[in-house]
Amino acid sequence: MFVEIRTYRLKNGGIPEYLKVVGETGIAIQKRHLGNLVGYFASEIGPINEIVHIWSFASLDDRQARRARLAADPDWQAFLPKIRDLIVTADNKIMTPAAFSPIGGTTQA
């Protein structure tokens, strides 16, 4: 299993608008293609104006295929302009959960 952790730094004050449009439209499109949403978060303490969403995939090939289907979806392409200008920076990490992680994993400590 692989976990993708996507972190977006938004424009100052952009979290409410971002969460509104993602909640109304974007998340359904993402779930249709990406599958297992582990969590979706907005920062409260620490770096401000951050959104973090975490998805799990069976393999890197699974992730690549799912991301390609999402990118090709006309609904997703129509949705992207609603959030694109709210995002200042984006960071992406691929991680493997430890064997004792609640979501399961195989990485040995």
54 vs 4, 13, 20, 78, 83, CA distance in Å? 6, 22, 18, 23, 18
Return the pLDDT at 21: 97
Q: Which domain holds residue 13?
A: 2-90
2, β-bridge pairs: 57
Q: How many domains does the chain have?
A: 1
Q: Kindly state whether residue 103 falls inside one of the protein's structural domains.
A: no
In a domain, 65, yes or no: yes
Q: Is residue 99 part of a domain?
A: no
Residue 19 lies in a domain: yes
Domain-located, residue 50: yes
CATH of the domain at 59: 3.30.70.100
Residue 86 pLDDT more than 70? yes
What is residue 109's predicted lDDT score, i.e. its pLDDT? 46
What's this model's pTM, rounded to 2 decimal places? 0.88
